[in-house]
Amino acid sequence: MIGGLLFPLVSVGLLIGVAVSHFDSEMPLGLCVSCFMAAVPGGLAPIPLTLLGLASVCFYLGFQQSMPVFVAIMVSYGFNIGVGLPQMLLKLSTAKLDPIGEAASQCPPIVAPPPESQEA
């Protein structure tokens, strides 16, 4: 990916913001796009002020207009860190499991055991 992890996530956030604005006609386009543009990468990257500055400069947001963006960034980051998504992804990427050994022992059995016969 060009731009590392941050700029593709900003692009995804822009597209999600446009889609949400089109689905809900009550939401202003500028608010949706700026909030999602900052909140999507803000969920994984601990750089809230940088993302707030990026959204504020791109959309010429003032202090009152930038508060929803800041809240969106903090909620997104708090939710993802609270759930443990980045830690889980890091654990999965660094796990070196033997496909037949450890991984097979962690999987549930494919075939259920036969039912016990009840003889009277």
For the chain, which residues make up each domain, given as ranges?
28-83
Q: What is the pLDDT of residue 85?
A: 77
Average pLDDT of the segment spanning 27-34: 93
Q: Is the pLDDT of residue 105 over 70?
A: no
107: exposed, middle or buried (C-beta count within 10 Å: 0-12, 13-18, 19+)? exposed
- Backbone φ and ψ for 112, nearest 5 degrees, come out as -75, 145
The residue with tokens 């992890």 is: 5
Q: Flag whether the pTM goes above 0.75.
A: no
Q: Is the pLDDT of residue 86 over 90?
A: no
Per-residue pLDDT tens for 33-82? Answer: 999 999 999 988 889 999 999 999 999 999 999 999 999 999 999 888 88
